[in-house]
Amino acid sequence: MQRILIVDDDKAMRGLLRLRLSDTYEIIETGDPEEALGLSLEHKPDAILLDLMMPKFTGFELVQSLHNLSYTAQIPLFVITGESAEAYNEHCANLGARCVFQKPIDFKNLKTRLASELETKRPERRAHVRVQMKVPLKLRGVDAGGAPFEESTVTENVSAGGFLATATKQLIKDALVEVFLVSGSETFVGRAKAVRREGQAAPWPRYGFQFVDKPDNWVLRG
């Protein structure tokens, strides 16, 4: 059964949406827009329905955040509002929403649009969530010339299965490195291979590393 995340601070509206949609979809819900991003990463919904006007974190901000995050960017977003839908259609579309529904909701139209979007084959999402997180590392391995090296670096792009980091040494594709977390002391995480290189002309290119085994003590869990 396909999964839908409902984000609305109105408990009655969440209950109504659940009642009308739970015969077709598995429903996850929250009244806290700040919790919505974490739930979308945890449960990997096939679509998200969200209210436009919520306290602390508006639907506009949530739509933009979900659309900009690589792992959630392909999830269809449907906005629900008590205001005139026509007033927000263009702005929400520019932020990444597929459609805006005005309250009271036309559930026949909503179900039709949901079915249409979810039946359409979407690009495959990344196998792992990528998160912006600054993590000091040490890499140890053999460079493209066959010489052993050890160097400190910092990644700001991590997932449960890998990371993106700068290396001053030239590495061949699939070169293996030992990875250590550096925080006061060094902690061995596991072995990773350089699966791609970014910035071919840069003197210090960035490499995309993928762990070859499930890492121990890594900052994100798979």
- What are the tokens at 210? 């993928």
Q: For the segment 155-200, what is each residue's pLDDT rounded down to a tens digit?
A: 988 888 899 898 888 899 899 999 999 987 899 999 999 988 875 5
The 10s digit of each residue's pLDDT in 115-165 is 888 876 454 444 556 677 789 999 999 999 999 999 999 998 888 889 989
Instruction: List, in order, residues 6 or more apart from 135 with CB less than 8 Å away.
Output: 154, 155, 156, 158, 163, 181, 219
Report pTM. 0.53
Superfamily of structural domain 135-211: predicted glycosyltransferase like domains (2.40.10.220)
Amino acid residing at 88: Y
User: Domain 3-119 carries which CATH code?
Assistant: 3.40.50.2300
Sign of CA pseudo-dihedral 23, 29, 33, 39:
negative
* % pLDDT > 70, the chain: 83
Provide the angle, in degrees to the nearest 10, between the axes of the packed helices 85-95 and 59-68.
30
Q: What residue segments make up the domains of the chain, in order of their start?
A: 3-119, 135-211
Classify residue 183 by burial, with Cβ atoms within 10 Å: 0-12, 13-18, 19+: exposed
